[in-house]
């Protein structure tokens, strides 16, 4: 019995593979390397001393999925594969719907065909939209996403819920991630965005090592304790562990289960910068800039449902997240590109 991990070479996928292998699971993995590299998979095997079975390919290719399900006994699927850049999703929305929504449909059809009915899906806090107050709870209204990326996540949540409604033998976990940062403590795997990063932590780490000249502080007039945006940053290793708990839950339950994966604590941009400076011993040059369009002031989770039902809670703190992000970037100034 094995877990199929789609998008295994990506940032969250690679960290989850480490946790799965350390937890004694066999892994079958697929990735088309559209936003990742083989090196990440090599590093996962180096960290764990264990092998996984890898299929290079695209989840929209039903033939390769058919081969995977025929050649392996897949017990459950953890589905990370997808495109995730918010800005890009506004420029090429059809690519986002094709990759994320159509890709998920092809995957679910293959699962149905091969009678594999346990699925853990990477959703996002972005499905809560702009109108819900934090702390965000799973029973709040969702769907008012502000961009095609967010809409694709919401649509997939709907599709998976409909799938369960027509076949009650499915077990599906919709995991709504807050802001994953950090890296494996070995410094061998981490986040490796293409081009100039949009997200805060990779922007900080690339500024710290001199790849970028300064950190733009995108909005200093929000209604928050210091005027900058507040988010729920969560260590990627904690997030990865949440997936193991979700797989365990699905081993003996059917239904659609939605969980926030966050810490429940909000930190501002300046809080994160200060914590990073402490962890790295470096000063981050900052420049005040206007708000980023589409941003909200405050977004953090109520993670209590995941604790109650999965026995999961985040354990690492902001200092750990900063120290691990810095170690990864310092050891790999060009990410996986040597």
Residue 295's binding partner out of ligand NAD, ligand UD1, none, with CB under 5 to 8 Å set by partner kind: ligand UD1
Contact track, ligand NAD, 138-177, x by CB under 6 A: ---------------------------------------x
Are 15 and 237 in contact by the 8 Å Cβ rule? The answer is: yes
Question: Min. distance of Cβ 180 from ligand NAD in angstroms?
Answer: 5
Question: Min. distance of Cβ 12 from ligand NAD in angstroms?
Answer: 4
Contact track, ligand NAD, 15-54, x by CB under 6 A: ---------------xxxxxxx------------------
Contact track, ligand NAD, 174-213, x by CB under 6 A: ---x--x---------------------------------
Are 324 and 191 in contact by the 8 Å Cβ rule? The answer is: no
Residue 200's binding partner out of ligand NAD, ligand UD1, none, with CB under 5 to 8 Å set by partner kind: ligand UD1
The residues, any chain, with a CB within 8 Å of residue 143's CB and separated by 6 or more, are 127, 129, 154
When CB distances to ligand NAD are compared, the closest residue is 10
Question: Min. distance of Cβ 25 from ligand UD1 in angstroms?
Answer: 26
**34 vs 147, beta carbon nearer ligand NAD:** 34
Position 129 contacts ligand NAD (CB under 6 A): no
Q: Is 128 noted as a catalytic residue in this protein?
A: no
Question: Min. distance of Cβ 85 from ligand NAD in angstroms?
Answer: 8
Position 128 contacts ligand NAD (CB under 6 A): no
**60 vs 137, beta carbon nearer ligand NAD:** 60
Question: Min. distance of Cβ 100 from ligand NAD in angstroms?
Answer: 7
Catalytic residues: 149
């Amino acid at each position: 019995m094995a877990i199929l991990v789609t998008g295994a070479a990506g940032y969250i996928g690679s960290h989850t593979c480490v946790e799965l292998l350390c937890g004694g699971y066999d892994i079958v993995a697929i990735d088309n390397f559209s936003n990742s590299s083989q090196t990440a998979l090599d590093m996962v095997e180096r960290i764990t001393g264990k092998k996984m079975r890898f299929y290079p390919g695209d989840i929209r290719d039903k033939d390769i999925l058919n081969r995977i399900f025929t050649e392996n006994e897949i017990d459950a699927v953890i589905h990370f594969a997808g495109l995730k850049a918010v800005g890009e999703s506004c420029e090429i929305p059809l690519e986002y719907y094709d990759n994320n929504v159509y890709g998920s449909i092809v995957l679910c059809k293959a699962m149905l065909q091969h009678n594999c009915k346990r699925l853990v899906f990477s959703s996002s806090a972005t499905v809560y939209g702009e109108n819900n107050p934090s702390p965000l709870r799973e029973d709040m209204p969702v769907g008012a996403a502000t961009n095609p990326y967010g809409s694709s996540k919401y649509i997939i949540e709907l599709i998976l819920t409909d799938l369960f409604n027509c076949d009650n033998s499915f077990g599906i976990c919709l995991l709504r991630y807050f802001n994953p940062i950090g890296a494996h403590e070995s410094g061998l795997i981490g986040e490796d965005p293409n081009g100039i990063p949009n997200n805060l932590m990779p922007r900080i780490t690339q500024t710290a090592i001199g790849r970028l000249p300064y950190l733009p502080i995108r909005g200093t007039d929000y209604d928050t304790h210091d005027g900058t945006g507040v988010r729920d940053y969560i260590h990627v290793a904690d997030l990865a562990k949440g997936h193991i708990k979700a797989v365990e839950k699905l081993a003996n339950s059917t239904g659609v289960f939605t969980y926030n994966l966050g810490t429940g604590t909000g930190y501002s941009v300046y809080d994160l910068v200060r914590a990073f400076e402490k962890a790295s011993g470096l000063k981050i040059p900052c420049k005040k800039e206007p708000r980023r369009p589409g941003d909200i002031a405050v977004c953090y989770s109520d993670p209590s449902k995941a604790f109650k039902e999965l026995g999961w809670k985040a354990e690492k703190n902001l200092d750990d997240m900063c120290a691990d992000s810095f170690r990864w970037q310092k050891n790999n100034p060009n990410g996986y590109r040597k």
